[in-house]
Every structure is written in C-alpha cells, then in structure tokens.
Amino acid sequence: LYGKAGLANSSRETGSGDLVQGDFRLEPKTYRTFFKQKEIVMPPIEFKLLRSLLARPGKVFSREELVAAAWPEHAAATDVRGVDVHIARLRKRLRACVGSEVIRTVRSAGYAFAPEW
C-alpha cells in the first residue's frame, strides 16, 4: 500500500535538515514541499501540519497535537476544529499531486499519514 503512492513506512532527515518520506521531500528552512521532484505550493500552516504527519507515518495525531505543531504560539487559544479545515485543504492539494489519499482520519482520535489503506 505504501508503495503505490511512492511512500516508505519511515521518514528520514537529510544532512541539510530536509525531511524525506518516500517521494515526498520537505525543506523546513524554506517551507517548500516536493513530491517526485515537483513542488507543491502550500501555506505555512499546511506545511507545518504535513511536516508533523510525515515525521511519524502511521502515528495518529490528535487535533490538539496538530494545533500545537501548527500554531505553537497560539495553541491554547486556537479552536481545534480549525485543524479539520486545514487538513481538508491539505488533502485536496496532495490528492492533486499524488493521485490518492495519504492522510487518514481516525474517528474520535485524529489524523495519520498513511497512504491508501
């Protein structure tokens, strides 16, 4: 299943600090995301959410954990349901490039990076 979307079941960081997960490469210093060498342009909030999910593929992140990752300075005041909106936008953006779903919803728990299950 991981192979179809060009994904591995573990992430790694390169010497430059980039996060690599299968055919995905994230550049945290520049907030740039690539899939199969093609750039996927996204806002910083979506980048932060994707970075969290890609760093631990298969781990289910609660909305609270994702809020803390995406809005660290405002985590206490941020509505956790806002994560749902940003995840929906991120899914749409990734689906256009990858051709399949890579973010899974775990009912009453949160979200996980996991290609077609």
pLDDT at residue 7 above 50?
no
Mean pLDDT along residues 95-114? 94
Exposure pattern of 78-116 as b/e (b: 16+ CB <10 Å)? beeeebeebbeebbebbeebbeeebbbeeeeebbbbbbe
Quote the number of domains for the chain: 1
Q: Give yes or no for a contact between 59 and 112, defined as CB atoms under 8 angstroms apart.
A: yes
The model's pLDDT over 44-86, given as tens digits with 9 standing for 90+, comes to 999 999 999 999 999 999 999 999 988 877 666 667 788 999 9
One-character DSSP codes across 78-104: S-TTHHHHHHHHHHHHHHHHHSS--EE
Task: State how far the Cα of 104 lies from the Cα of 111, in Å rounded to an integer.
Answer: 6
List CB contacts of 92: < 8 A, sequence separation 6 or more.
Answer: none
DSSP lists the bridge partners of residue 13 as: 19
CA distance linking residue 111 with residue 88, whole number of Å = 11
CATH number, position 86: 1.10.10.10
Q: Which pLDDT belongs to residue 4?
A: 44
User: What's this model's pTM, rounded to 2 decimal places?
Assistant: 0.83
State which residues form the domain around 57: 3-113
pLDDT band of residue 117 (cuts 50, 70, 90) is very low
